[in-house]
Amino acid sequence: VVLGSLAYHGDVVISYPGEKVDAGNLGLLTRRSPTELGRFKHIERPRDIPIPAIMALCRLVGVNENLVKKKELHKDMLRATLERCSGLIDRTVKRIQWLKNVPELWGMDMVDDARAKKHQEALGKLKDFLEGIQAYDNPAKLVNFRYSEDEVSAQQSRITILDMLDRREKLFSEFQSLVSYINQAEVLMPDNHPWRTSAQDAKGELAKLLAEDDPSQESARSVERALKIARGEYVNAYIDL
């Protein structure tokens, strides 16, 4: 019992013939009979945690990487890291579902089918990675951290996709009411009215914006101005009918 507790807290590794038991595989002890539990060969000090990989994980999720350098701070570091990972999992799951039913603006998908499929695949890999991190719920388990520094850093491009899709949903929220208004205006305005040219120009600007992977704020505001101009011109044109 004492050795099991020490192993759980990462203070020792228990060596048996053919296997070693540490904080990461403590369940192996439950498979042994009381007699077998006492037949260990020796105990040894645990390996050090892979500091570069753990620091990369902290940078990835926005936790102070300097916490990794002091063992007494590993518990706080891990708690903050797991909280951040949990939040990212929730965001990732939500965004994967969003990509399966992408909203439209003016008959145009916010993300085209090809990009939606590509992004779903990337976010699926990010989700698998983040869920894998949840297994390291004890600082002592970090000695068995199975991801290399490069493997951790490679997830940044997937988090970038997640951030980009969040911004795209925000664009939808900002433009939806304007576009809906102009859609209704198109129904009411005569087919040959000159205002339709303004509306189609605004639609063209929106189409170009949605074709970009990650539109800039400047581009988004330019399209917003075009939509508002079309709305204003419709009001004036309708009054003159």
Question: Residue 56: pLDDT above 70?
Answer: yes
The whole-chain average pLDDT of the chain stands at 88
The DSSP H or E segment spanning 129 is helix 113-133
pLDDT in tens, 209-227: 999 999 999 999 999 999 9
pLDDT in tens, 167-194: 999 999 999 999 999 999 999 999 889 9
> What's the pLDDT band for 88 if we cut at 50, 70, 90?
very high
Q: Tell me how far apart the alpha carbons of residues 145 and 53 are, in angstroms, rounded to a whole number.
A: 8
Contacts of 221 (CB under 8 A, 6+ apart): none
Question: Residue 63: pLDDT above 70?
Answer: yes
What pLDDT is attached to residue 5?
67
What pLDDT is attached to residue 19?
77
What pLDDT is attached to residue 185?
94
Question: Residue 33: pLDDT above 80?
Answer: no
> What's the pLDDT band for 49 if we cut at 50, 70, 90?
confident
On the 0-12 / 13-18 / 19+ scale of CB atoms within 10 A, 1 is: exposed
Write down the pTM of the prediction: 0.78
Task: Compute the C-alpha angle 234/104/163, nearest 5°.
Answer: 115
> What's the pLDDT band for 148 if we cut at 50, 70, 90?
very high
The DSSP H or E segment spanning 108 is strand 108-109
CA atoms within 13 A on the CB side of 131: 10
